[in-house]
Amino acid sequence: MNSKLLAIAAAAGLLAAAPKEVKKPKLGVQTPGVQIPYVSLKSDAEIKLEAAPTGVAFTTEALIAAGENIQRVEARSNKPGDKIAGLNSACGGLINALASLWTVNCGAKTVSKIEAKSGKTTATIDSGAVMAPMALAASTDSVWLLSDATTTLIRIDPKENAAVAEIRLPAGCTEILFAENALWVPCPGADRVLRIDPATNLVDKRVEVSGQPVAITAGEGSIWVLTSKEGKVAQIDPKTNKVTATIELAIPNAKGSMAFGEGSVWVSIPGFPVTRILASTAKVIQQFVGDGAGQIYFGLNSVWLADPQAKTVRRFDPKRIVATLAE
């Protein structure tokens, strides 16, 4: 085809235009120096488990609920100790509160109350089906459980070892936290974080948090909430019950977990196992990129990342995290 024919064909639209390359949007905070390969972050310990970890709690040691057992881990040596047996498909988290360990058995639809030192189960309480990965919390005198998908908040008296109250919440609420003298429950379907007064068993505030709030933590006098739709963190002032800041993670459809410690908010999202937000500035300081996300915790002056896919829990010194810089 000579040049004249080419010109005619082009004018007539006979030559198909070359398809344009569609560039995938870059995920995560693009500020130079923030993103760091996760493989660059060295852990102080990696605890291998027989089942996927479903909760981590702390006494003078770390305790990890997984499958049929709670694995003890020595605080100084990071060596696995004796196991606490007798669970039935552990789920819903693990907490150390009111002189006992508490976890949920998805297989039996019960809550186990366990004496930490002896490992003896001292009570078993009916729970119903539990859907939330962080379904347990404790106030000053009660244990609280998010039960079933509809959602029911159950109050457990640790002396009577029985449910003493039930509160109906919107369907699909995802976690529960006790902080600032109140219970806080993110409910993504309602775009609300519910504030519940434990003195009355009533929802006394409904904080509007757009973008489907799914995970929650507290620290430095604020409540911090991960919103999944746009991948942001909302900062709530518990005095005014309003969002005072929104922190961009730039990770849409972000289903993840949160913890607080050493002046930082810690977030774990698939593809971004560890993100650190400095609470004093409400800015993302570090964002580690790669495989290995899971439930994130803070205890024994360390960050702990429970990876259900790898069936491991990794322990990180916050100082080591801060010192790990972008290449």
Cα atoms in the Cβ-side hemisphere of radius 13 Å centred on 14: 9
Asked if the peptide bond before residue 151 counts as cis, ω within 30 degrees of 0, the response is yes
Query: What integer pLDDT is reported at residue 327 of this predicted model?
Result: 75
- DSSP helix/strand/coil, 249: coil
The pair phi, psi for residue 296, each rounded to 5°, is -110, 140
Phi, psi for 115 (deg, rounded to 5): -75, 120
Map out the domains of the chain with their CATH numbers.
33-49+256-327 (2.40.10), 50-133 (2.40.10.500)
Residue 310, class by beta-carbon neighbours within 10 Å (0-12 exposed, 13-18 middle, 19+ buried)?
A: middle
> Hey, CA dihedral for 4, 10, 14, 19, is it positive or negative?
positive
| Token pair for 97 | 């509160």
Is pLDDT of 20 > 90?
Answer: no
pLDDT digits (tens, 9 = 90+) for 233-251: 999 999 999 999 999 999 9
**Calpha distance 104→320 (Å, rounded):** 33
Q: What average pLDDT does range 161-171 have in this prediction?
A: 96
Per-residue pLDDT averaged across 54-77, rounded? 98
Q: What pLDDT digit, counting tens, does each position of 167-218 carry?
A: 999 999 999 999 999 999 999 999 999 999 999 999 999 999 999 999 999 9
Q: Are 35 and 287 in contact (CB under 8 A)?
A: yes
Asked whether residue 25 carries a pLDDT value surpassing 80, the answer given is no
